[in-house]
Structure 1
Amino acid sequence: MKKLIYIFSLILLTSVVMNACKKDLPFYNGDVGIYFLPAIQSSGSAVSDSTLISFAFAKESVKDSIFRLPVQIIGAVSASGREYKLEIDPTSTAKEGVHFDFVNTKFEIKPNQLQDTIKIKFHRTIDIANQRLTLKLNLVSNENFKTVMPGVVTNTTTGAKRSYIGYKIKVDDIFGMPSLWSNYFFGKFSKKKIVLMANVLGLTVSQFNDGGQAFLNKENYFALFVQRYLNDLAAAGQTVYDEDGTPMRMGDNF
């Protein structure tokens, strides 16, 4: 009986101590933060703090392109709208009013929302036909949001980082082989081929530049899928010819 009383007393004492400790624990009340969403999560391509917009593969009638850049907050929603601060980095070579314009008239997280989208209209100017320009945007702390998540180190050897609060948009109209093009998988490069591949695979041409590791992991699948598509057309008497007049095909192994 004494043993049972001892055990009960011990349980009671532990409960009292734990409740007392809970009362003393402070609640976390950190600053509400803000960051560029594509740098942390992205649909269809790798996470990144930059992207390329190229008019090189667009029809001549296309003179503008609207780029959408989502921002998201860390913290609770608010019943009222809260403006966030966005600045153009002085290293930018693209000029507002010439190469781009903001579609947004106000940068604000709307009531009861966690996210907003910055809309930027890029113009197909003559000078981007032979040079790549850059627009870098920076999120800056203000009275509503703090830049509590500056970024992450992506390579401890080189010290390379991915920023969560700085986003770089490169724009050009230069026709050329994209950085993720593989002759082994896709064969000889041509504008006609990459446009067809993008349409068949449901990709954008820019993903051949900025698709990252997620794109590279699918190169074999992409080549097989497009080659099968070309084979089916050829079997139906609708052979697709490349720009050099030869039947279009993927790499020699497909």
Structure 2
Amino acid sequence: MKKFLLINIWAMLIGFSLLGCQENERMLYEEKPAVYFSTVTEKDSIFYSFASGLKDEDVVSIPVRIIGTSVDKDRSISVEVDPVSTAKEGVHYKNLSKSVVLEAGNIETAINITVMNEDLKNGDVKLILNLKSSEDFDLGYAGSLKAKLVITDQLVKPSYWDMPLSLYYGAYSKAKHRLCIQLQGFDFPEALDYAVIADYMSYGRMVYSYLTQTPIWDEDTQAWITADWSPL
């Protein structure tokens, strides 16, 4: 009798457990999808520098992602400019859409902004974007709903210089950075593209070869920059 009761109790517990799991799954899949910035948080800043002098305009893309599943129709992600932004539309940026399309079948897209090299002599400007809830999406992870883009005409040390660029170019300095732009014909992008690591190895050797013949003077450190590293 006791054995029979124990079996019944275990059966009931397992049944309740299965019902609970099914209910959680139902709530998970029926919950409204949410959107968030997938590569930056409110503590991060994205820098775009015109210091190379190679461009007067460029496009910055800030990835956004959803919590939820893809569907077979286009959906809209809403974004607004935070009023504390110092960047001015039509002067420092343009072509910013307040509604970004997430195409059918996708769970990730990007907010594209054209930045312009105008009126930066008095200092950097900041464009702060806030995601907004919409008919299609709620707001996702707290802390990943705001993105800050800093537009400047000063050189900005790439966030990935210490690793891995230092392996190919040695220690960072603004003087060496300017030389890299001069020899390469382009500045380092804000995010590292691992597909071009081999190119950086080649360019690093080119910078090394130049500095073995022609050291350059660094006004910031008041020192000569030489080929003082071993390129890979």
Contact 1:240 1:247 in 2 (8 A): no
Alignment equivalent of 2:103, drawn from 110, 117, 122? 110
Residue ranges of structure 1 left out of the alignment (5+ in a row): 41-46, 152-163, 212-224
| Residues 1-254 of structure 1: pairs in structure 2 closer than 5 A | 10-11=6-7, 13-23=9-19, 26-27=23-24, 28-29=27-28, 30-39=31-40, 49-59=44-54, 62-102=55-95, 106-125=99-118, 127-151=119-143, 164-174=144-154, 178=157, 186=171, 189-191=173-175, 193-196=176-179, 204=188, 229=205, 233=209, 239-243=213-217, 248-250=226-228
Change (3 A) 1:249 1:130: farther
TM-score, with structure 1 as normaliser: 0.63
CA distance in 1, matches of 2:213, 2:93: 41
Contact 1:195 1:205 in 2 (8 A): no
CA distance in 2, matches of 1:168, 1:82: 24
Q: What one-letter code is carried by the residue in structure 2 that aligns with 1:194?
A: H
Change (3 A) 1:49 1:146: farther
State how many pairs are aligned. Answer: 201
Instruction: Describe the SS at the equivalent of 1:38.
Output: coil
CA distance in 1, matches of 2:19, 2:207: 71
CA distance in 2, matches of 1:197, 1:8: 80
CA distance in 2, matches of 1:190, 1:24: 59
Residue ranges of structure 2 left out of the alignment (5+ in a row): 163-169, 193-200
Change (3 A) 1:16 1:146: same
Contact 1:67 1:120 in 2 (8 A): yes
1:92 offset after TM fit, Å? Answer: 0.9
CA distance in 1, matches of 2:145, 2:11: 45
Change (3 A) 1:230 1:204: closer
1:129 offset after TM fit, Å? Answer: 2.7
CA distance in 2, matches of 1:71, 1:242: 42
In structure 2, the residue matched to 1:221 is none
Identity of aligned residues (%): 22
Change (3 A) 1:205 1:13: closer
1:86 offset after TM fit, Å? Answer: 0.3
1:64 offset after TM fit, Å? Answer: 0.7
1:80 offset after TM fit, Å? Answer: 1.1
* CA RMSD, Structure 1 to Structure 2 (Å): 4.0
CA distance in 1, matches of 2:39, 2:67: 15
In structure 1, the residue matched to 2:165 is none
Contact 1:65 1:123 in 2 (8 A): yes
Change (3 A) 1:203 1:6: farther
Change (3 A) 1:145 1:250: farther
